[in-house]
């Protein structure tokens, strides 16, 4: 970047400053937390070649970096308020990239009612790499955890599973049934990989009904393993009940189905639901306009999630998608 960083802040980031950011004329931001709310904090990094492709549009990179964090807040039942942005630019990142990146953030700030509280910009040999820390508020004592699920709870997912994985496969020109889809559908799948949809509309239904929840970032099956382990339960998923992208016919092909169930980049919600609250959850989700589907249940015991197809054990060649060696901590 030939640009002075103060100029970058002045031109592109200052318009993103919200309450408590002091227009970035300070060392730190200030966040007021109402006394009836808890603050939920999360952080996720995205890097070129790991979470996005180097040629992806800068505005979609910005939106993905923000949305993967908002997705974590949604799964905890929290409504987002603000975020911090750490941006490591590559030595050859130009002003046009930064401008488009900031425009992506601006669009999503409006869409999700969040503002930028502060940040740091550095230049490194290899970039860009973006780390966001996001802050959300939840009614005191009502944060939804990964643990808390109990044997007998139903498992639900929002939206469809495998769209992000199919989008990435398309961007990588990998063979599969996604290649046969109409142009519009392929564009939609790629869009789901590049710009996930954080399910914030589902947050109230989760705090009201769920015993446990998490967002699905590394593939449904592996993430279900994590929810079950944190809840000290076993888990069963019936593959035919998992909503897949419309028109994507895996034809019973094990490799394709595995890819969709374990491919990652879904950013949908996986939630455990006590049976007596299932009806209320479906109602609330319906009113919020978020499709949800029952895909299985938690059981007693432990071990890895058992996946069945039409009542028979379905063998998986992998359980989770590894972004480089990315793991949530």
Q: Which is nearer to its own copies, 84 or 244 (CB)?
A: 84
83 within 8 A of 112, measured Cβ to Cβ? no
C-alpha closest to that of 46 among 75, 87, 76: 87
Q: Which is nearer to its own copies, 267 or 281 (CB)?
A: 267
Binding to its own copies in span 305-324, by CB under 8 A: 323-324
Give the nearest distance from C-beta 203 to its own copies in angstroms.
Answer: 12
Residue span binding its own copies (CB under 8 A) among the ranges 126-134, 202-210, 285-293, 302-310 = 126-134
Question: How do strand 268-273 and strand 154-158 relate by DSSP bridges?
Answer: antiparallel
Beta-carbon contacts of residue 326 (< 8 Å; ≥ 6 apart)? 50, 51, 218
CA distance 142 to 269: 17
Does residue 1 interact with its own copies by CB under 8 A?
Answer: yes
Q: Output 203 or 238, the one with its CB closest to its own copies.
A: 203
CB 300 within 8 A of CB 202: no
Q: Is residue 291 within 8 Å of residue 243, measured between CB atoms?
A: yes
CB of 283 to its own copies, least distance (A): 25
Count of residues binding its own copies (CB under 8 A)?
70
62-91: contacts with its own copies (CB under 8 A): 72-73, 75-76, 78, 84-86, 88-89
| Residue in 35, 54, 183, 289 binding its own copies, rule: CB under 8 A | 35
Q: How far is the CB of 169 from its own copies (least distance, A)?
A: 21
CA-CA-CA-CA torsion sign (294, 296, 300, 304): negative
3-state secondary structure 39-89: EEEEEEEEEECCCECCCCCHHHHHHHHHHHHHHHHHHCCCEEEEEEEEEEE
How many residues belong to the chain?
329
Residues 240-299 that bind its own copies (CB under 8 A): none
Question: What is the smallest separation between the CB atom of 258 and its own copies, expressed in angstroms?
Answer: 20
Contacts with its own copies, residue ranges (CB under 8 A): 1, 4-6, 8-9, 13, 22, 24-33, 35, 38-45, 47, 49-51, 72-73, 75-76, 78, 84-86, 88-89, 117-126, 129, 131, 133, 135-136, 143, 145-147, 214-215, 230, 323-329
């Amino acid at each position: 970047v030939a640009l002075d960083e103060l100029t970058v802040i002045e031109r592109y980031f200052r318009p993103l400053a919200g309450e408590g950011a002091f227009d970035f004329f300070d060392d730190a931001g200030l966040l007021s937390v109402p006394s009836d709310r808890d603050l939920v904090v999360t952080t996720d990094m995205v890097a070129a070649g790991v979470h996005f492709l180097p040629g992806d549009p800068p505005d979609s990179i910005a939106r993905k970096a923000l949305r993967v964090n908002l997705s974590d807040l949604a799964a905890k039942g929290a409504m987002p308020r603000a975020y911090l942005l750490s941006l490591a630019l590559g030595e050859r990142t130009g002003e046009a990239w930064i401008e488009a990146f900031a425009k992506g953030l601006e669009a999503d700030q409006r869409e999700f009612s969040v503002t930028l509280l502060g940040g740091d910009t550095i230049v490194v040999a290899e970039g860009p790499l973006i780390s966001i820390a996001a802050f959300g508020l939840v009614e005191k004592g009502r944060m939804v955890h990964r643990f808390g699920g109990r044997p007998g709870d139903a498992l639900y997912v929002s939206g469809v599973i495998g769209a992000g994985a199919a989008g990435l496969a398309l961007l990588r020109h990998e063979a599969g049934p996604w290649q046969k889809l109409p142009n519009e559908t392929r564009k939609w799948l790629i869009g789901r990989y590049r710009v996930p949809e954080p399910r914030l509309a589902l947050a109230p239904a989760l705090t009201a009904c769920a015993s446990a929840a998490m967002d699905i970032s590394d593939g449904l099956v592996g993430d279900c393993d994590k929810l079950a382990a944190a809840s000290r339960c076993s888990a069963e998923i019936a593959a035919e009940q998992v909503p897949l992208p419309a028109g994507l016919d895996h034809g019973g092909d094990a490799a394709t189905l595995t890819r969709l169930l374990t491919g990652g980049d879904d950013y949908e919600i996986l939630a455990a639901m006590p049976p007596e609250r299932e009806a209320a959850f479906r109602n609330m989700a319906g009113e919020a306009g978020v499709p949800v589907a029952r895909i299985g249940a938690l059981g007693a015991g432990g071990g890895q999630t058992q996946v069945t197809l039409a009542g028979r054990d379905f063998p998986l060649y992998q359980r989770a998608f590894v972004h480089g060696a990315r793991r949530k901590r």
